[in-house]
Amino acid sequence: MDGNSRSTATMTRENQQHIIEGPTSVGATDRSAFKASENELKAANEAAANNNGMVRGATPDTPTIPSIENIVPSHRLDGHVTIVTGGSGGLAHTLSQALAAQGSQIALVDLVVEKLATVEFELQEFIKVNKLKPVTISTWACDVSDAAQVEELVTAVPKEHGGIIPDKLVHTAGYCQNIPATEYPAGRAEHLVKVNLMGSLYICQAMTRQLLSHRKRRKSISHNINSVGEALPFFPNASFVLIGSMSGLIVNTPQPQVAYNMAKAGVIHLVKSLACEWARYGIRVNAISPGYIATPLTKQVISASPEGAALQEAWTSKVPMGRMAEPKEFIGAMLYLLSRGASSYTTGENLVVDGGYTCW
Ligand SMILES: NC(=O)c1ccc[n+]([C@@H]2O[C@H](COP(=O)([O-])OP(=O)(O)OC[C@H]3O[C@@H](n4cnc5c(N)ncnc54)[C@H](O)[C@@H]3O)[C@@H](O)[C@H]2O)c1
């Protein structure tokens, strides 16, 4: 490179900086220079508006006035397909209602499709009674611990949703077992880990593979650079929310559940690992770790024990808020993490929603 071309390159960088920072910060004194700067700034702001309102270096010194949509995040999910695993479960049932209310199409996934038909019917009733915009809901039988089944599921979902590639995930599939460690049969512990932990990896892998392969077919990945040379994420809307548990952080008492605890600890670190690998694609991966929730899972644990009421009392006595959660108390966390506007800089996070349990 000769001296001239070097200085041209420098000029270009300065000009870019000038546009981004605005006229006040480049010391423009004469009116025509100021006017030119204003025009450049206007152009930059328009470009920024087209780029989802992201303005690099927007500080009180820069006269950028954002629109309300760029300040108050929307939690609408219109045009997206959310895969909800564990779709027949207590938590998923409530979360799916919130997804439908926000306009998301939903692919409900669980072991048995018959039970999902009831869930789908109830969701359609929910939509009708509340006069919501109709959304497509599909139901799928899939064992998330079987990587091949998961791959097949993810490939098939777009066919039922007008070709839309799912870029939102709410992964709730899982189960708990209370067996003392000394008596835990290896096969049962392995199965639980396969469902709760490996299933979490499989569904994320399959969705990301599909997003990436779709992208490659459409255009070369090297084109994804903005005017100031920053790499742009391919999938800025993609957000995976995995349901972990406070059991991934603490050891529940008095019931023994070593396999569940270690699997949920794995989920929390899984989201961090995937978040780091896939941030370059714009895919965000986060966990929500609930405390005790009043769903069929916990009700079954309570009713399966002769000391059920005492067990519940033992649990709630350790919760600073003094009670179990309702499933609807996780909707806010889910919508926050799914919303691009609300949580665009949040990835690898484990959002603990436990009434304060893990504080003590
Ligand atoms: N209920 C709680 O107190 C609590 C607390 C912390 C975390 N969680 C977690 O929240 C999630 C949802 O729990 P829930 O209370 O709604 O339980 P739930 O039992 O009501 O729902 C779980 C669903 O997952 C499905 N599932 C199980 N194995 C599967 C597999 N291999 N493939 C596909 N689907 C499978 C089940 O059929 C069930 O419908 C679970 O991951 C659970 O570990 C629950």
The phi, psi pair for 62, rounded to 5°, reads -100, 130
Distance CA 272, CA 348 (A): 4
pLDDT at 69: 86
Residue carrying structure tokens 């609930």: 290
pLDDT of residue 315: 93
Query: Judging by beta carbons within 10 Å of its beta carbon (0-12, 13-18, 19+), is residue 149 exposed, middle or buried?
Result: middle
Domains of the chain (ranges; CATH) run 3-71 (no CATH), 81-359 (3.40.50.720)
pLDDT at 133: 97
- Ligand 1 midpoint to CA 155 (Å): 23
Annotated catalytic residue, options 88, 96, 200, 260: 260
Six token digits for residue 84: 């909800």
Distance CA 163, CA 291 (A): 37
33 CA from centroid of ligand 1 (Å): 63
- How many residues are present in the chain? 360
| 260 flagged as catalytic | yes
Pocket of ligand 1 (CB under 6 A): 85-86, 88-92, 110-111, 143-145, 172-176, 195, 199, 243, 245, 290, 292-293, 295-298
Measured by CA distance, the residue closest to atom 32 of ligand 1 is 143
Question: Residue 36 has what pLDDT?
Answer: 40
**Does this model's pTM top 0.85?**
no
Contact 271, 351 (CB under 8 A): no
Q: What is the pLDDT of residue 226?
A: 67
**Atom from ligand 1 closest to the CA of residue 171:** 41
Residue 129, class by beta-carbon neighbours within 10 Å (0-12 exposed, 13-18 middle, 19+ buried)? exposed
User: Is 281 a residue of the active site?
Assistant: no
Nearest to 97 by CA among 355, 328, 360, 265: 328
Tens of pLDDT along the chain (360 residues)?
Answer: 333 333 322 223 333 322 222 222 222 333 333 344 445 445 544 554 455 544 455 555 666 898 998 899 999 999 999 999 999 999 999 999 999 999 999 999 999 999 999 999 999 999 999 999 999 999 999 999 999 999 999 999 999 999 999 999 999 999 999 999 999 999 999 999 999 999 999 999 999 999 999 886 655 444 566 667 666 678 999 999 999 999 999 999 999 999 999 999 999 999 999 999 999 999 999 999 999 999 876 777 677 767 888 888 999 999 999 999 999 999 999 999 999 999 999 999 999 999 999 999
Question: Which pLDDT score, from 0 to 100, does residue 12 have?
Answer: 30
CA of 327 to the centre of ligand 1 (A): 12
Q: Which residue lies with its CA nearest to atom 26 of ligand 1?
A: 173
Q: For 21-52, what is each residue's pLDDT tens digit?
A: 222 222 233 333 334 444 544 554 455 445 55
Task: Please give the structure tokens belonging to residue 268.
Answer: 């929390």
Per-residue confidence (pLDDT) for residue 58, from 0 to 100: 52
Q: How far is the CA of 243 from the centre of ligand 1 (A)?
A: 9
Closest CA to 207 of 288, 278, 151: 151
Spatial distance between the Cα atoms of 244 and 155, rounded to a whole number of angstroms: 25
pLDDT at 157: 98
DSSP, residue by residue, 172-226: ---------GGG--HHHHHHHHIIIIIHHHHHHHHHHHHHHHHHHHHS-GGG-B-
